[in-house]
Every structure is written in structure tokens, then in C-alpha cells.
Amino acid sequence: MPIDYDALMATRVDDEVCEYTDKDALLYALAVGFGSNPLDRKELPYVFEGASLKTVPTLASMLLPSTFLDGCGWRYDRVLHSELRLDLYRPLPPAARLLTNRRVVAVHDRGPNRGAKIHIESEVRLAKDDTALFTLGNPLHARGEGGFGGSRGQDPAPHRLPKRPPDLVCELPTRPDQALLFRLCGDRNPLHADPALATRLGFDAPILHGRGTCGVACRAILQTICDYDFTLISGFNVRFSAPVYPGDLISTEMWQDGNIISFRCVVKSRNAVVINNGKCTLTT
């Protein structure tokens, strides 16, 4: 069934209720690499509820139900996240009940060989007092779904990285089983687990979720610049530019200009930029 442009553009939901618990916060932190050294006292509060559980800001990208576009006509196993734009209005609590308004704001036809880009925006509030918690822009790339006759569209200009050498670099490994763990956070796309499917779709092996790579980048900034203070991060935008294979070593290159951290993530062994044009905004 081909993509139905008119049906997609009419897709929205208001006051959708969802909730998460501290188990979700703990699992996400583990799935992006926190706790690899269980004796690290700065990382432990992200993976152990002891005194006060801290939350990884990019956990927000995994908190909304994945059923929003069920039945839209795409093949789910061919869908990839192309970007992520997160604005946090307050730090994520370790558990909460949420109210969400979600809608499709644009559908761009990139052609039969390049697919379709579907732009989703979500506004999320705390149910207990209706205060704004975060907004999430989540463009999706539906491979093979282009050619339906829509506008090609134009993406916003990406955040520009400084031309000087990076101010800081943080290298973090990924585990061979990291995609299998991360999919338990809410994205069960078989592309991240099934070797035969990954090969059919043109990859050497199952790839790590883009939102998993995003979490690794967030961990690098928390560790290197924020001294693990998650309350400092109020915005986190990335463009996914190449796949990460579980087991890759990810080098996050960072430039700090005031409260703006520009960054990109590189897998040097393959000379691949896997996240580009990253922008992390710190509270002022």
C-alpha cells in the first residue's frame, strides 16, 4: 500500500496519555553506555536509583508511543530516523505521566530511489500540572516510499560547525550487543536485530539505532563538558549521516562557544561521520 499524502498530513493526536517509570530511565541509560564501569560514582546515579536518579536528556526521544503512524502505508523495516530536534523546558523527571499533542507537519517526496521524508512534531506536557516538558521534532526517512507525487520540499539549513579544530574530543565504545539492548527501549525495528534483513537492505550487519547513537553523543557531552549535570542541557539537535555498527568506537568532536556546543560523531575506523551538524544548548 503506497503512502497516502492526504491521510498523513491529516494525522494528529491531542492529549495522548503515556507514562514511563524509573525502569525506563535506567534501561535507556544502560543502553547508551552508562554504567560500563559500575564503580564510576559520576555515572552511577544514571543507572542506580540510590540517592537520586538522574535522567539522560535524550531519553525524551524514546518516551512517546511508536504506534503514531501505524497503517500509514510504509514498510516499517525500511524506516530510519534522519534527524532529531529536542527542546527541553525542564529536566526530565525519573518517572512521569505525560500528555502529548503530535502531528505530521510535512511529507516530502525525494523520488522513487530516495524515499520520503515525514516530519513529525510532538509537544509534551506533564499530566499532573499541564506544564510544558519538551518538544520533539522527529523527521523520518521512509526508504523506498518516494515517488508518490508530492513536493520534494526543502530542509532547514543545518547547524554549522566551526571551522577550527575541535576544542574537545571524547571517545566512547559501543558494545557488540548494544542494538539488541537498545531496542528494548521502544524501537523494535528488525533492522537492528536481524542480520539477514540488514543484508537485504544494503547494510553489512544490523545497525545501531540513530537514537542510540544520539544517546552516546549526549553521554559524551555530559561527561566532557557538563560534569554529568543533566540539568544543564536544554536542547539537543542532530542529523544522522551514516550508520553505526554495534562495536564501533564513536569519537564525539566538540566545539564550545558560550552556551552552544557544536558537535559531530565520527567512527574513525571507517572514516565515517555518523552524526553531523550537532547542536547542544546549555542553560544560561
Give the active site residue among 146, 186, 210, 212: 210
Cα 283 to Cα 279: distance, rounded to the nearest angstrom: 13
Question: Among this protein's residues, is 221 annotated catalytic?
Answer: no
- Give pLDDT, residue 49: 93
Higher-confidence residue of 8 and 181: namely 181
Q: What is the pLDDT of residues 59-84, one digit of tens each?
A: 999 999 877 777 666 666 677 778 99
Q: What is the pLDDT of residues 44-55, one digit of tens each?
A: 999 999 879 999
Write the CATH number for 128.
3.10.129.10
Percent of the chain with pLDDT over 70: 93
Cα 75 to Cα 72: distance, rounded to the nearest angstrom: 9
Question: Among this protein's residues, is 146 annotated catalytic?
Answer: no
| Residue 219: pLDDT over 50 | yes
Cα 274 to Cα 138: distance, rounded to the nearest angstrom: 17
Dihedrals phi, psi of 5, to nearest 5 degrees: -60, -50
Question: Among this protein's residues, is 210 annotated catalytic?
Answer: yes
All cell numbers assigned to 152: 520534494
CA neighbor of 189 nearest in space, from 78, 95, 109: 78
| Domain residue limits at 99 | 5-282
- Give pLDDT, residue 11: 86
| Residue 258: pLDDT over 50 | yes
Report the domain count for the chain.
Answer: 1
- Binning pLDDT at 50, 70 and 90, where does residue 21 land? very high
Q: Which amino acid is at 281?
A: T
Give the active site residue among 81, 115, 150, 187: 187
Residue 57 CA, distance from chain mean position = 10
Q: What is the pLDDT of residues 140-194, one digit of tens each?
A: 888 766 667 666 677 778 999 999 999 999 999 999 999 999 999 999 989 999 9
Question: Among this protein's residues, is 207 annotated catalytic?
Answer: yes
Give the active site residue among 119, 192, 209, 225: 192
Give the active site residue among 207, 221, 225, 250: 207
- Give pLDDT, residue 118: 86
Higher-confidence residue of 23 and 5: namely 23
Cα 232 to Cα 201: distance, rounded to the nearest angstrom: 39
Residues in the chain: 284
pTM for this structure?
A: 0.93
- Give pLDDT, residue 1: 46
What would the mean pLDDT of 234-259 be, rounded to a whole number? Answer: 97
